[in-house]
Amino acid sequence: MHRLLLLGCLWLLAAPPASSIFQRPTGTPAPARLQYLLEPLHPTVHTQRGATATLPCVLRALPRNYRVKWSKVEPANYRENIIIITNGLYHKNYGPLSPRVRLRHSHRYDASLTITDVALEDEGRYRCQLVNGLEDESISLTLHLEGVVFPYQPSNGRYKFNYHEAKRACEQQDSRLATYQQLYKAWTEGLDWCNAGWILDGTVHYPIINSREPCGGRLLLPGVRTYGAKDKQKDRFDAFCFTSALQGQVYFIRGHLNFKEAGQACRNHGAAIAKVGQLYSAWKFSQLDRCDGGWLADGSVRYPITTPRERCGGLPDPGVRSFGFPSKEMRTYGTYCFVG
């Protein structure tokens, strides 16, 4: 037993640093056919915020002196961060995911990774790597969160955020900066927005369904148009935020309230005034549908429509409509509240 513990300590001390580049150098041969790891039947695992998700990694045989390393590629910087390493007897967790991950280990060949209370930042590409001397091999899986992308700008107008301010603004509205894949999917589902915005990797884009003069001209084809990478400190744009399912409920309180009264009305019900991301989530996942404009935590007034109709703005598509940022002293709106 003492020898096993010593080997385990030596193995952990020999673990590679917590960050390294994922990509295979140009010109190197493709990895050999898997000998020990089973190819996943479904390389993408779909989940929602707050759920428990398992990324499968199963061995067909147990080589001698092996270890399995789980890691994740962070979409903001494309670096690989180690999550957990095991040799079948012992394991060690690494990084911010550490409190919420464990090995499923339903049998001796099972090295699958289970993530509890899935968060927005958990979406991305994961790798299960068998480390076995010269016979290293790995599989890649993608954790995909079902969610909704929404454009966001502050009360003082368009193109006011540098990258770090955009990132913080999304987080303050119960969301995070969208990835390119999330923005592209939103475009395929009908997102049409003329203002360019930051996404998580520091590039700037805008999605166009209907080509028109103020948005690059009528001759350009529809698509996700890009400005490429921009200076994260100096350049200023809007933001594209992403949110997923809520662990709670958004509801409307009718009234003629100013912004301060709206917040108090929610607190009187044991709730908080809803954030923009929470309203979008309720619209997307709970089909919240109201014709009434209501205050939100950022001082904007919006309302969610799942069944478009003439008397509710007249627009043909579902969506969250906005009245912008009216004076906080105006006593003409209700409020949307969130209770967790």
Of 228, 243, 258, the residue that ends a domain is: 243
User: Distance from CA of residue 252 to its chain's centroid?
Assistant: 26
Whether residue 86 is found in the same domain as residue 108: yes
Q: Which domain holds residue 292?
A: 245-339
User: Domain check: are 178 and 203 in the same one?
Assistant: yes
Based on the domain organization, do 64 and 125 belong to the same domain?
Answer: yes
Do 43 and 133 fall within a single domain?
A: yes
Residues 59 and 85 in one domain: yes
Asked if the structure places residue 23 within a domain, the reply is: no
Decide if 330 is inside a domain: yes
Location of structure tokens 């910087």: 77
- CB-based contact 43:143 (threshold 8 Å): no
Same-domain check for residues 231 and 259: no
User: Does residue 295 share a domain with residue 259?
Assistant: yes
Instruction: Verify that 206 and 280 share a domain, yes or no.
Output: no
**122 occurs within a structural domain:** yes
Residues in CB range of 14: below 8 A, 6 or more apart: none
pTM: 0.84
Per-residue DSSP letter, 263: H
Q: Are strands 333-339 and 249-257 parallel, antiparallel or unpaired?
A: antiparallel
Shared domain for 252 and 223, answered yes or no, is no
255 and 319 co-located in one domain: yes
CA pair distance 242, 78, nearest whole angstrom:
19
Residue 304 lies in a domain: yes
At which of 117, 145, 173 does a domain end?
145
CATH code for the domain of 123: 2.60.40.10
Q: Is the Cα dihedral 293, 294, 295, 296 positive or negative?
A: negative
pLDDT at 6: 34
DSSP state of 186: H
In a shared domain, residues 77 and 125: yes
Residue where a domain terminates, one of 208, 227, 243 = 243
Q: Residues 205-227: pLDDT tens digits?
A: 999 999 998 888 888 889 999 99
In a domain, 283, yes or no: yes
| Distance between CA atoms of residues 7 and 307, nearest Å | 63
The total number of structural domains that make up the chain: 3
Asked whether residue 22 is assigned to any structural domain, the reply reads: no
Please report the pLDDT score of residue 25 as a whole number. 47
> What six digits make up the tokens of 71?
């890691």
Q: Are 57 and 139 in contact (CB under 8 A)?
A: yes
Q: Tens-of-pLDDT digits for all 340 residues of the chain? A: 333 333 343 333 334 433 333 344 455 455 567 889 999 999 999 999 999 999 999 999 998 889 999 999 886 667 889 999 999 889 999 999 999 999 999 999 999 999 999 999 999 999 999 998 767 899 999 999 999 999 999 999 999 999 999 999 999 999 999 999 999 999 999 999 999 999 999 999 999 999 998 888 888 889 999 999 999 999 999 999 999 999 899 999 999 999 999 999 999 999 999 999 999 999 999 999 999 999 999 999 999 999 999 989 888 999 999 999 999 998 899 999 999 9
- pLDDT for residue 1: 39
Query: What pLDDT sits at residue 168?
Result: 98
The CATH number of the domain holding residue 198 is 3.10.100.10
Q: Which residues of 155-170 are buried (b: 16+ CB within 10 A; e: fewer)?
A: eeeeebbbbebbbebb
- Whether residue 10 lies inside any domain: the answer is no
Examine residue 103 and state whether it is found in any structural domain, yes or no.
yes
Mark whether 252 and 317 lie in a shared domain. yes
pLDDT tens-digit readout, 162-191: 999 999 999 999 999 999 999 999 999 999
